[in-house]
Amino acid sequence: MAMSEEAAGAAEAAEAPPTPAATRGRVRFRRTALMAVPAVALGGLLMTLTAQGVLANQFSISGMPFTITADRLEGDGFAQYGSLDEMIPDSPNQGNTGGQVLVAVSAIKTAKITNLCQSVDLGGVNLVIHAGDGKDPVTATDLTTDSDLLSGDAVFDNIEIGGDASTYKNAGRYGKGNPGVFGQQADHVDMTHVSQHNYASTALKFKLPNLRLSFDSKGC
């Protein structure tokens, strides 16, 4: 059967391979789409892990330090490294710090704390918390404290001093500092007569037996 000129032209156009420009356009679109998929999936994964408490949330410190004392702190998986804590812009508590405080981050994978006291000066009155002074100590998992003063009597097992904090593994995912930061880590730490002047603390799990909260004229 004979075909009209218009029908023949349409058939040739349908059978003709796509032009290089059209091919490049499709390849470019596909490549962009493939690159976007991992980014979207990663964003969703990070939000999920944060919601589950698997990843630590970064937060701005209030700039009001608090004191922690304990008769004894014992932990498996220890790391320590330097860092900077930051307040919100124009924080009323920044003083002459510029809103940044240099701290030593102490990270412990699993910790037991005997006779814990925590207090913060609210301006003439102290909010005081006591726990772990009975038969059961306070326990914590993935504990971190950001301190500018720390004292006590300490014993470390298999300590390593001066390593790059970004390579540390003893204290888990929260026991790593930034690349090039001086740090130290140990398999085990046992401290007595503990006293810390802190700006922040985090824990994946924190169990406080015999917890009491009160206001007092004196802190810890």
Q: Calculate the dihedral angle through the C-alpha atoms of 103, 106, 112, 114, rounding to the nearest 10 degrees.
A: -30
Q: Given this model, what pLDDT does residue 58 score?
A: 63
Where along the chain do its domains lie? 5-51, 66-216
Confirm whether pTM is higher than 0.85. no
Q: Given this model, what pLDDT does residue 174 score?
A: 87
Which ranges of the chain would DSSP assign to H, the alpha helix? Answer: 5-15, 20-51
Q: Report pLDDT digits (tens) over 104-148.
A: 999 999 999 999 999 999 998 999 999 999 899 999 999 999 999
Contacts of 176 by beta carbon, 8 Å cutoff, 6+ apart: 79, 81, 165, 166, 167, 168, 169
Q: Is 187 helix (H, G, I), strand (E, B) or coil?
A: strand
The residue ranges of the chain whose pLDDT is under 70 are 1-58
Q: Given this model, what pLDDT does residue 192 score?
A: 97
